[in-house]
Amino acid sequence: MPVTPPPPLVEAVIVTAPRLPPLGGEAVFDAQQLDAEALKTAPRLDAALKQVPGVSLFRRTGSDAANPTIQGVSLRGIAPSGAGRALVTLDGAPQNDPFGGWVIWSSLPPEGLEGVTIVRGAGAGAYGAGALTGVVALQERAATGGLSALDLSIGGRGERRAATAFGTRGLLITAAAEHNDGYVPVRTSLKGAADTRADLNSGSVAARLQGELDGMTGAIRLGAYDEERGAGLAGANSTAKGASATATLARLEARGGWRLQAWIRASDLANSSVAVAAGRGATTPASDQFETPSTGYGLNAAWQGRAETWSWEVGADARFAEGLARERFRFQSGAFTRGRESGGRTAVGGVYVEVAHDAGDLLLTGGARLDAWRQSGAVRRERDLATNAITLDQSAPDNSGVTPTARFGARWRLGDVAWLRGAAYAGFRPPSLNELHRPFRVGNDVTEANPGLTPEKLYGAELGAGGDGPLRWTATLFFNRLDDPITNVTVGLGPATFPTAGFIPAGGALRQRQNAGRIDAWGLEGDVARTFGGLELDGAFTAAHARVDGGSAAAQLTGKRPAQTPDVTVTAGATWRPTDKLSLSAQARYESKRFEDDLNSRVLAASVGLDVRAGWRMSDDAEVYLAAENVTDARIEVGETGDGIESFAAPRLIRVGFSIRR
């Protein structure tokens, strides 16, 4: 009887994005990893990142409802800002918006990622400008052929979401779309007809094509996104759209390698704001920022070498941005009467070297950078829309400088599982085009731009310890000094008329972005994890004491806590797998009170949020799940106006979905 031969073995080919491995010296800094398993529990990347204490957007509002201009990410809770004080990269290419520095999180679906590395502390070395409080380094999923990831879900408030990653050998395509009807942020008895839903429609697509030639790997990645959202006030909404392209060429060898990368990002933001009438019975158009075309582009190059216990990297990078905000404002007699155009150009470039020495129980690393920056072409021109006559024509002198930064650290292995480490660092962040040139309005509060801003600089040191045994834990004591922080400084309160800004109504405030003295922050952060059979427990915290010294420029801020900075953040998680098919998980986050404003006059109460999830595994790769966000329906305060109107983050949302991960 003939014997049927066994089927031929098929080798699974996994094609990862071309990137250089981090130097071994990265272990001396306070870094945390989120793998694909941790990412899949949240529908949006910013929600997944909140598993790490100290990681936050400017406000507590998630990217499902927050205006794009406040979606910048900061680490350690040291004076978060709308532009963000952390750099976000995807396989080396910056993902921060070229005009505002914020991140459009809907353009980065978790299904397209294999992991995230969060490095807390100023990121000199290879990261450079923008990595003031740290780096969020995203790694894109490998192209394995076929379907790599899929997530389909529906939920309350009209929630519908679909996301996938698929392709062939050398091609990865990631796409996502989401719609929700949103919620009304003002949920108290003071809610009026002016208060509407903060809804969302978003979509994104990206493709990475790569191949190999003579030992080199090359890749081209193209991406695009488009989102529309309501602001929670009648007549106020925003749209954000953009496209990006990245070309990377790399060669990896046993004793090192090199990488060349070029990237370009184009974005456009439209943002309308309104004034709210007394009693919140109606709104009146206040401004219509109908377009903000901007472009950012850059280059980076790196070369690594390795020899026995030594490794090193030298490199250079340059980033350029230009953009204009075009706006209609001063609404009178049923129409806008004034037009405004404001914007300019920025450039920053630097060179760096970093060296690591791994002597077994002792790991040493050190690096230095030298960056030059420039702000030029500032323009602010306002005109009467009826006559086209110029009513304001301002420019500002070009500004430039050179900023050196460095970072050094050591890590000592104590026995088989314990270690000590220490690090010191300096970093800087140049102001964004948005901070330099674009005034904006939220309700009755107006914030003016400032083309005279200079870069923020951070100096810090930390001492940490940890263990890698069955009980995994870390603890880090840190001190950071932020010089010349860009802060929204209160200039006056309404009702009053001010030069340039015009009339500010009752309950409103006029603020201006200023380099306001310095912020000193010291604190303790740590995390712990332990597995007991099918039960996994983890917890983490950040406690930071941050205070402003306003100096002569803003003496009224001295002794105040930076706006939107909590003293304590605690997260706790549990995952239980009672059977091979069933998994149950919960993730809680506590934040102490924040202040809405720089004067610490508007208090945002402490908050606790709890998310839960139950999954039933249908196969090795697929599961169905039931998830509830803010399951206790807690009122998490995210904003407060000058007349005491509170707004809140999303209420409870229950979703059911189907997920595949391969």
Helix (H, G, I), strand (E, B) or coil at 15: strand
Region of poorest pLDDT, from 69-83, 247-261, 463-477, 590-604: 69-83
Confidence of residue 8 (pLDDT cuts 50, 70, 90): very low
The pLDDT tens digits of the residues spanning 484-538 come to 998 888 888 888 887 777 777 777 888 888 898 899 999 999 999 999 988 999 9
User: How far apart, in Å, do the first and last CA atoms of the chain sit?
Assistant: 39
The pLDDT tens digits of the residues spanning 308-364 come to 899 999 999 999 999 999 999 889 889 999 999 999 999 999 999 999 999 989 999
3-class secondary structure per residue, 523-586: EEEEEEEEEECCEEEEEEEEEEEEEEECCCCCHHHCCCCCCCCCCEEEEEEEEECCCCCEEEEE
Q: State the pLDDT at residue 474.
A: 94
In terms of Cα–Cα distance, which of 613, 635, 632 is closest to 624?
A: 613
Return the residue matching tokens 């004491």. Answer: 545
6 pLDDT more than 80 = no
286 pLDDT more than 90 = no
Report phi then psi at 389, rounded to 5: -75, 140
> What does the alpha-carbon distance between residue 246 and residue 238 come to, in Å, rounded to a whole number?
27
Q: What percent of the chain has pLDDT over 90?
A: 63
The pLDDT tens digits of the residues spanning 622-653 come to 999 999 999 999 999 998 887 788 999 999 99
**Hey, which residues does 374 pair with through a beta bridge?**
347, 400
Q: State the pLDDT at residue 127.
A: 79
Region of poorest pLDDT, from 74-88, 93-107, 469-483, 561-575: 74-88
543 Cβ contact list (under 8 Å, min separation 6): 523, 524, 525, 567, 568, 569
In terms of Cα–Cα distance, which of 487, 499, 494 is closest to 509?
A: 494
Range from 117-131, 312-326, 430-444 that averages highest in pLDDT: 312-326
Supply 397's token pair.
Answer: 């002198």
Residues 5-29 have a mean pLDDT of: 63
Contact 176, 165 (CB under 8 A): no
Residues 139-144 have a mean pLDDT of: 88
The answer to pTM > 0.85 is yes
> What does the alpha-carbon distance between residue 61 and residue 64 come to, in Å, rounded to a whole number?
8
120 pLDDT more than 90 = no
**How do 362-384 and 399-414 pair as beta strands?**
antiparallel
Q: State the pLDDT at residue 9.
A: 37
**Residue scoring higher pLDDT (189 or 620):** 620
64 pLDDT more than 90 = no
CB atoms within 10 A of CB 502: 12
183 burial (CB, 10 Å; 0-12 / 13-18 / 19+) is buried
User: What secondary structure does DSSP assign to 455-484, as a single string?
Assistant: -EEEEEEEEEEEEESSEEEEEEEEEEEEES
Confidence of residue 124 (pLDDT cuts 50, 70, 90): low
The pLDDT tens digits of the residues spanning 269-283 come to 999 988 888 888 999
**Structural domains of the chain, with CATH:** 24-661 (2.40.170.20)
In terms of Cα–Cα distance, which of 397, 381, 377 is closest to 389?
A: 381
295 Cβ contact list (under 8 Å, min separation 6): 98, 264, 265, 266, 267, 321, 322, 323
Q: State the pLDDT at residue 662.
A: 86
Q: For residue 65, which amino acid is it?
A: A
The pLDDT tens digits of the residues spanning 379-423 come to 999 999 999 999 999 889 999 999 999 999 999 999 888 999 999
Buried b (16+ CB within 10 A) or exposed e, 376-394: eebebbbbeeeeeeeeeee
Helix (H, G, I), strand (E, B) or coil at 153: strand
Average per-residue pLDDT for the chain:
89
Signed CA dihedral, 53, 157, 64, 61: sign only: negative
Q: State the pLDDT at residue 11.
A: 42
10 pLDDT more than 90 = no
334 Cβ contact list (under 8 Å, min separation 6): none
